Structures are given as C-alpha cells and as structure tokens.
Amino acid sequence: MPASPLQPFFKHKGWKPFPFQNEVWAAYAAGKSGLLHAPTGQGKTLAVWLGPVAEALAAKTPPSSCSILWLTPLRALAQDTLRALREPLEILAPQLQVEARTGDTSAAIRARLRKSLPFGLVTTPESLSLMLTHEDTRAKLANLKAVIVDEWHELLGSKRGVQAELCLARLRAWFPGLKIWGLSATLGNLDEAREVLLGTTHLNAVTVAADLKKEIKVETIIPKEIDRFPWSGHIGTRLAPQVLLELDKARTTLVFTNTRSQTEIWCQELLSLRPEWHDRIAMHHGSLDPAERVKVEQGLRDGSLRCVVCTSSLDLGVDFSPVDQVIQIGSPKGIARMLQRAGRSGHQPGKTSRILGVPTFAMELVEFAAVRDAAAVRHLESRRPLKKPLDVLVQHLVTCAIGEPFEPDAMRREIQSAHAFRDLTDAEWDWSLGFISSGGKALTNYPRYRKAHLVEGRYTVDDKRLILQHRLSIGTISSDTHISVRFARGQTLGTVEEGFISRLKPGSLFVFAGRKLELVRLHLKVATVRPSKGDARGNIAVWGGSKMPLSTELSHATAARLRGEGKPAPEMKAVAPILAIQKRWSELPDDRILLVEHARSRGEEHLFIYPMAGRVVHEGIGALMAFRMRTKDSITITQNDYGFSLSARRGLNLSEESIRLNLSLDHLLEDVIACLNTAELARRQFREVARVAGLILQNLPRRGGRSQREVQASSRLLFEVLERYDPGNLLLLQSEREILERQFEFSRLHSVLADISNRPIHLVETEHLTPMAFPLWADRLSATFSPGDAATRLEQMLQELNQAAK
C-alpha cells in the first residue's frame, strides 16, 4: 500500500486523496516514470511529491543525502514551491529538508549547499546545468531517486527545455534507475511531451490525467450596438464601463490581456473611470520588478485588491490564490491558454470555472463562440519540441567536460538519448566536438583556440579562467536584452526591451508599470525616469513578439462557426448583422475554400486573401506572394488572423490560376529566404545563438577592465566574420532555421500552403471594402514591400544616394 505512510497528512488536512494521486503514487512505487497533466490547483504537486516521500519513509535507513531534484522553469516560483513541498513534510517527516538553489539564492545558502545537499532540492535548468560543472556533483547525487520537472509545458519547445533534456540525459546515464516525472498543463500532444521529457531510452512510462471534468463556462460581454462596434482594432477599451459593472459583482477579479502594453492601457482606463480605486486596482506582468509583483500577489491573497490586470505572468504559479472572477480582454487566441486562465477562478475541485470574454472588435465575438466549442470537446493546441539546437549542445558539452572528462562515444549515446538530438548526424556530432576543442571545421583558422582538449581519449577542460567564464555563460539561454527602468532615487520599476526604449529620446513620455513617466536618460542598460504630469497616452511601453497569432485549432473552430456549425450562441447572434453584410457583398471566409476579394479604392487596387491561418503565417504568405509577383510597383502588405491584403497602384487584377501559381509550394524555402530578408534577420537571431554557444563573453562582475573589453565584439560582427572565414559553421545555419521558424512559423506556413493547394479559390470582385477587408485596409502601418532582392534594393538605395550626392 503505497499511500498508507501518507495517511497522517491527509487526516490532518481532512482531505481524501484524488484517484489520480493514488494512480501516480502507485506508478511511482512500481518504479515507473511519467507525465501528469492537470488544470491548475488540482493537487498536482502532492501527487508527484508524495510518491518519493513515501519511498523515503518506507526505506530501512533514512535518506542521508539528496534524493529528489525538483526542477522549476521560473526561479520566481521557487519560493512558492518550497512552501508547498515543506507543508506535508512537517507532518510526515520533519527530519527531511527541502531547500532551493536558483540564481536568487543567497551566497550563504549556496555555500552550505556546496557542502551537502538536502533531501529535496528545488532548482532551475540553469542551476542544474551549473551543478554539472562541479566534479563532486555525481557523488553528491549518488542517492538520487527521482527528478520532478514542474510546468514542463513551459519548458517544452524552448532552448531551456532542451537544456533540461540534456541535463536529464546526464543524470539518467549516471543513475540508470532514476525516475523522472513531469507536471504539465493539458496539451494537444501529451504523449510527445512525455517522450521528450523521458528521452529515447525510457520504456514503461505512464501518462496520468487529472482532468476532473471541471466545468468551464465561457461568457462574453455583448456590445449593445453592434453596428457601432469597431470592425478592427485591438485595444477595445470601449467596453470598459461594462467591465467595471462586472468588477462590482465580484470580490476579486483577474483581468487577463494578451500583451503587456494592453495591460498598461487597460489599467489606466479602469483607473480613469474609477479614480477612487487607485489602491484597489493593480497590474502584474513579467517585466515588473519582482518586489512589485510580490506586493500585488499579496494584495490579491489578503483581499486588499479588487482587481488585477495582468498578462500570462499570472498563468503560472503553484498555489496562486484563486479569484472570484476571470475576465479576458480580446480573444485568448488559443484554447489551452483560455482554459489555463479560466482555471484561476473556481479553484476548488468540482466548482465551475467561469471566464468572461471582452471582445475588442466584432470578429472576436466569433472567436469567443469558437473557443467555447473547442474547449467543450477539449480540442487543444500542441507544443512542438525543438530539434537539435547545436548552440545548446556545445554549451552542454563544455559543461560536461568541465565536470568530469568524457569519452566521445559514450557521450554521443547519452546525447542521443535526449529527444532533441536523437537524429544527430555524424557530421553534426563531429562539428560539435570540433567546435569545443579546435574551433571548427576550418582548423587552420583557429590557431590559438583551445577550450576542451583530449586527454587519454577523453575530452576535458582544465583552464581555470575558461571554467569560470563558462559558468558565467550558463544561464544566458534566451534572455533578451532588457533595459532596467529606474527612478533617479534608485527604485527599480522593472525592465523593458531595448528596442522600445531606444526609440525614445530623453524627455519622451511613456506609460510603464501603470505610471506616466518621462525618460531622463538611457545609459548602460539603465533607463532613468521621473514621474510625468503630461499626457503620455501615445506611448505605451511595447514589448517584442507580444502579439500571439490565432492558433491552428482555434482558427479551425472559428471557421466552423462562420460556416454556421455549432449550437446557437449569443455572440453569433450579435455579430450576425455584420456577417450578413459580408455575405451580401462577398462571401464568408472559410478554411475549406480560399476566399479572395479584389477591390479598387482611390486609385489603388487591393487583393484581400483569407487563408484563416493566423497572422504570422499570413505575414509570410503575403510577403511571399508580393515577391513572386515581381511587379515594378511597390506593394503594401497588411495581415491579421483571418487573412492578408496586398495593395498597389496597379497589377493586382489576377486570375485564379495566377493566384494559385503565386501560392504554390515550388521553391518555397528559397523564395521565403529571398523575400524576407532572412540574412539580415538571421544576423539578429545570431545574437542569441552566439551567446548560448559561448562566443560572446558574459561580463565578469567587478573584473571588467581592459582585458575583457579587448574580446568584446558585436554578434553582428561575429556573424560577418564567420560568414566570411568559416561559412560551414553550423551555428550560422541554425540561426537561419530558427529565424524562419520563430519569425514566420515556417512549418505551419508550409502546411497551410499545402492545404490551400487543395482548396477551391473563390475570387470575388467587391464594390466596397467588406467587413473582413476593412481591418486589413485600415491597418496600413505595416511595411511596404519593394520589388527586387536584397542586392537590387541595395543598388537602388545607392543610386538614390549617388543622385542625392550630385
């Protein structure tokens, strides 16, 4: 009976274990690994934690060293996790210690942990990786029974996830009997998620669902006058007065937005409508200073806050106190995300989670109806794992070589037991070994370079300075350049992306962390600001990559709604007049056909094309099509989640055949690379790759000085040098691949075009801009595509330059 030693705790709490908890404990006791998925706040932590605890309690001799590693993706979660893990131990086994070791851990605790590790250790992938660089880690973990990876869905698909995969591979190679358990939100590809977590060598693993058939209710605030409701836009504060009425009905409300800037805007709007709530409305997003965030979380817990406006920073969290009500501003763009957010209310098992949607423009009403349909059948998005990021591999290889010298063949087997690298080729492996030892394929180009070297058939790194350098560079995986925002007096407000702040000049006004600020100066990664009294409405802090595209699954559900499928819904009733106009002037877009509208306005021609595939893919297809048409005029491209538009002075009156030709799969990759200025983008992406691969030195604290500055170079320059003197360097190729996937969702683009090739094209000549076309037409801030490849464009600019010079 695996559960029996746990009885006292449940008795103390007056709880009964859930069936899924019993299931996980039994599987663990049988020596199995697995993945547990559940909505938030469902006793997941206890399910995976108490198995190992029961094991320790049942052991004849109490564990004397570290038995369990608990990996958490966010170090901000470490403290909450510690609390949750310690609680049952106080009753069951007060002698067992749990500690956290993350980047936030104080030097004193860190030093103590260097001496000996507690029964349970909470840590992050970076800190685990760092531990592997210490030669005594293997001995210290000799008693390790299990590794538990929390919020695995957050790591999956990221480089930090791959870092975790590699660390797990190392631990599995050291301790073959090791059990590995993951906790995940529900995903569309749970089995794959489990395979990635457990690696290629794991057999006999289980997936446990803790889906307690929680009922989720999606409701929508219906705008009163639909014909006055905007056809486009994304801020949507028009419904703010109605949102305030809803806030009055509940004690605590979370208002989720999709972007950090929308968070700022909504917070300002609600406050301006109800100034007397200035200490009861707060905001929470990932760029805020941790101290500020903790204050907000505390305010929600003790009820002093009525409403918190937030982004996905609150999607996570162990035992985040539930709220009475969840409001979603704008479409959630994904089904899993909507479920996760809804789960923040009605936390108790059996209680209904309710989410109230606030559309920001008319078509979002359809999306809310669609997301309800998809949630009801639990048709969720998948999260795709990364394949072979070599920058992470070379970093890990150096990590391993520092910890203990490795034999290449054994190491290759270990690496390939990680899902991300199961298809590693000989060429890629040889290149990686070369990169860490002699520099690269073109050996003669690296005469002075030596990092790892072979001693008796094993790779080792023994230069103290290099070891120190490498340890500093671990943990640099995907941390974008952020500028910290501070008052002159020293109080830190949070961070913004460099790209945003560098566009501002001293004296510019902007809104950040709910305050109106004036930029005083920007110096060395610190933006000094002061409160401003002026109106800063125009400049809300924006963050890169914040606009999520509509997920594939939700796109299909939306198309189904437009076709008229599904039960009657108030949203569809409300939006019906607009859809009727669309039908009268053209057709409704659908994912079974390809609707194309051709229209003229003010001396311009427009093509509106609706693949229904999400804005990122549309951006790619739009640019591709403009490129393939090879017109002499420049073409303006805009896109949203339903389609894209091309506008030009002439030349857009295309036949069906020529549209199809422009959307064909032939030479897709070459054309995409040619038209999207991929080289320039890859150069930018290279910054991250170079940092992870250890080509850019991290600043040594307090040791900066001259010698350090001598070896600083911009990633742009490194990219150019590598391109010229070592073009076969695989990191260059990787940058290109990453940018295609990240920036343009290339795989999705490919499958959408494949799908379109089988869809009939409905080409409609329209007299007016239709309701679907209008938002595309109105959104003309986007880039103009100038004809010709990069080289021609360059020439053109130089010509202009020359002419101007004459």
Residues binding another protein (CB under 8 A)? 435, 439-440, 442, 444-451, 463, 465-466, 469, 634, 677, 680, 694-697, 706, 710-711, 713-714, 716-718, 721-722, 724-726, 729, 783-786, 790, 793-794, 796-798, 800-802, 804-805
- Nearest one of 212, 168, 206 to 36, comparing CA atoms: 206
- Cβ closer to another protein: 298 or 796? 796
3-class DSSP state of 131 = helix
586 and 774 Cβ atoms separated by less than 8 Å: no
- Cβ closer to another protein: 107 or 711? 711
Least Å from the CB of residue 28 to another protein: 43
- Cβ closer to another protein: 9 or 686? 686
Residue 297 backbone dihedrals phi, psi, to 5 degrees: -60, -40
- Cβ closer to another protein: 452 or 752? 452
Least Å from the CB of residue 684 to another protein: 13
End-to-end CA separation in angstroms for the chain: 90
Least Å from the CB of residue 144 to another protein: 31
Concatenate the DSSP letters of all residues of 236-274 into one string: -GGGHHHHHHHHHHSS-EEEE-SSHHHHHHHHHHHHHH-
Alpha-carbon distance of 720 to 712, in angstroms, equals: 15
Q: What is the DSSP letter of 35?
A: E
Least Å from the CB of residue 680 to another protein: 8
Q: How many Cα atoms are found within 13 Å in the side-chain-facing hemisphere of 462?
A: 8
- Cβ closer to another protein: 447 or 534? 447
- Nearest one of 410, 407, 385 to 199, comparing CA atoms: 385
Q: Which runs of E-coded beta strand occur in 472-569? A: 482-487, 492-497, 509-512, 515-523, 526-531
Least Å from the CB of residue 381 to another protein: 31
Contacts of 211 (CB under 8 A, 6+ apart): 37, 38, 39, 186, 378
Least Å from the CB of residue 399 to another protein: 14
577 and 226 Cβ atoms separated by less than 8 Å: yes
- Cβ closer to another protein: 567 or 703? 703
Instruction: Using CB atoms within 10 Å of the CB of residue 490, give its burial: 0 to 12 exposed, 13 to 18 middle, 19+ buried.
Output: exposed
- Cβ closer to another protein: 447 or 568? 447
Least Å from the CB of residue 804 to another protein: 4
Cα torsion for 175, 179, 185, 190, to the nearest 10°?
Answer: 90
Least Å from the CB of residue 797 to another protein: 5
- Kindly report the length of the chain: 806
- Cβ closer to another protein: 39 or 440? 440
3-class DSSP state of 287 = coil
Contacts of 494-500 spanning 24+ positions with Cβ under 8 A: 494/287, 494/288, 494/289, 494/292, 495/287, 496/287, 496/527, 496/541, 496/543, 497/543, 497/544, 499/544, 500/541, 500/542, 500/543, 500/544
The DSSP element (H or E) to which 22 belongs, if any, is: helix 19-29
Least Å from the CB of residue 591 to another protein: 30
- Cβ closer to another protein: 272 or 796? 796
Least Å from the CB of residue 634 to another protein: 8
- Cβ closer to another protein: 479 or 784? 784
- Cβ closer to another protein: 376 or 717? 717
Alpha-carbon distance of 16 to 10, in angstroms, equals: 6
3-class DSSP state of 497 = strand
Alpha-carbon distance of 251 to 293, in angstroms, equals: 20
3-class DSSP state of 322 = coil
718 and 697 Cβ atoms separated by less than 8 Å: no
- Nearest one of 564, 516, 562 to 539, comparing CA atoms: 516
Neighbours of 706 (CB within 10 A): 6
Residue 363 tokens read as 């078509």
Least Å from the CB of residue 703 to another protein: 13
- Cβ closer to another protein: 29 or 674? 674
- Cβ closer to another protein: 43 or 787? 787
Buried b (16+ CB within 10 A) or exposed e, 776-801: bbeeeeeeebebeeeeeeeeeeeeee
Least Å from the CB of residue 693 to another protein: 8
Instruction: Using CB atoms within 10 Å of the CB of residue 10, give its burial: 0 to 12 exposed, 13 to 18 middle, 19+ buried.
Output: middle
The alpha-helical segments, DSSP class H, found in 325-362 are 335-342
- Cβ closer to another protein: 506 or 545? 506
- Residue type, position 205, single letter: A
Least Å from the CB of residue 793 to another protein: 5
Least Å from the CB of residue 58 to another protein: 48
Tokens 């075009």: give the residue. 753
Least Å from the CB of residue 805 to another protein: 4
Residue 15 backbone dihedrals phi, psi, to 5 degrees: -110, 165
- Cβ closer to another protein: 324 or 726? 726
- Cβ closer to another protein: 426 or 710? 710
Least Å from the CB of residue 779 to another protein: 17
471 and 110 Cβ atoms separated by less than 8 Å: no
- Cβ closer to another protein: 332 or 440? 440
Q: What is the DSSP letter of 548?
A: P
Least Å from the CB of residue 781 to another protein: 13
Least Å from the CB of residue 749 to another protein: 19
- Cβ closer to another protein: 699 or 784? 784
